[in-house]
Chain A
Amino acid sequence: MKTRDPWFAGLAGAALVAVAVSAPVAKPASKATPAATYTVTLKDMKFGPLPATLRAGDTIEWVNSDIFLHSASARDKAFDVELKPGAHLWTTFHRAGAYPFACRYHPGMTGTLVVAK
């Protein structure tokens, strides 16, 4: 599922809610653990620190702080976020699982997000 281009909207200061990794599940996130948003910054040709406690319903905000085009692309194609320099995009994870991902343009940039129920 591909995220739409946020560049111009991002410049305008508009927030874009982007990708649903999978179809939303019927059960909402527990009230005891409200959905959270974590920021992952791409800088110096690396994905920054990934959240250790990601849960279904949580959102990743991808921020490209490099001067190069990057992407965050799941190996299983669950998400594919293209990030122009300076772009911010959001991916919400509805299902538990492990999501290995890489930058489509720089294969050496990799990571794995683990989503708990």
Chain B
Amino acid sequence: MLKAIGFAAAITLAASAASAASAQAAKPTDAQIAHIAYTAGVLDVAAGKQALAKSQDKAVRDFAAEMVRDHTAVNDQALALVKKLGVTPQDNPTSQGLSRDAAAKLASDAKLSGKAFDKAYVDNEVAYHKTVNGALSTVLIPDAQNAELKSLLQTGLKLFTEHQAHAKHLAMSLK
């Protein structure tokens, strides 16, 4: 949850950072958007790998494997696209905030085990995907200028919406 809240705050911060200057200046660049999206994927892969290392629950492990596989696939496509476009993903406060929050979440979950870990992991996946999907819908996709980047983000949104539903269903089964 902390990771998701942090992400929401980071996205909000990114979107409003330059609002005093102008609305246009507040929009993230494609290089920043690519970095944010890629980072969000990397962090969910890391969370999935932690779940695979710690959880004994088959449904949780299957879900975690899905996260690792799917987010890796999207990020592989993202890397190929930025290479093709000659764009260098640009680090930014949003990506940094995401990474910071994710590191804290990984550390706190590392102290858990059994059902407590499973619940913490899956609950966070629900919140994380909800927040990421919100950011994709309201900030990242609308602000992306390159058509191929926008398309990849839209593909990601469809995938992550399914992930969110899967995580929500799994969370209910763990109660």
Contact = CB atoms under 8 A, between A and B. Distances in A.
Chain B at the A interface: SS class? helix
Interface residues of B, number: 14
B158 A108 contact: no
Interface stretch (B30-38, B39-47, B67-75, B124-132): B67-75
Contacts of A45: 158-159, 161-162
A18 to B, nearest CB: 22
A107 B166 CA distance: 7
B19 interface: no
Given A44-B155, A44-B158, A107 B169 contact: yes
A67 B162 contact: no
Contacts of A44: 155, 158
A109 B20 CA distance: 44
Given A67-B74, A67-B77, A105 B158 contact: no
Contact of A69 (B69, B161, B166): B69
A85 interface: yes
Which interface residue of A68, A69, A105 has the most chain B CB atoms within 10 A? A68
Contacts of B162: 45, 106, 108-109
A106 B66 contact: yes
Chain A at the B interface: SS class? loop
A45 B156 CA distance: 10
B169 A68 contact: no
B87 to A, nearest CB: 19
A102 to B, nearest CB: 11
Contacts of B73: 67-69, 85
Interface in B138-175: 155, 158-159, 161-162, 165-166, 169
Interface residues of A, number: 12
Interface string A53-67: 000000000000011
A14 to B, nearest CB: 24
Nearest to A106: B162
A108 B163 CA distance: 9
B70 A68 contact: yes
Contacts of B166: 106-108
A45 to B, nearest CB: 5
A68 B165 contact: no
Which interface residue of B66, B74, B161 has the most chain A CB atoms within 10 A? B66
Interface of A: 44-45, 66-69, 85, 105-109
17 contacts: A44-B158, A45-B158, A45-B159, A45-B161, A67-B73, A67-B74, A68-B69, A68-B73, A68-B159, A69-B70, A105-B69, A105-B70, A106-B66, A107-B166, A107-B169, A108-B162, A109-B162
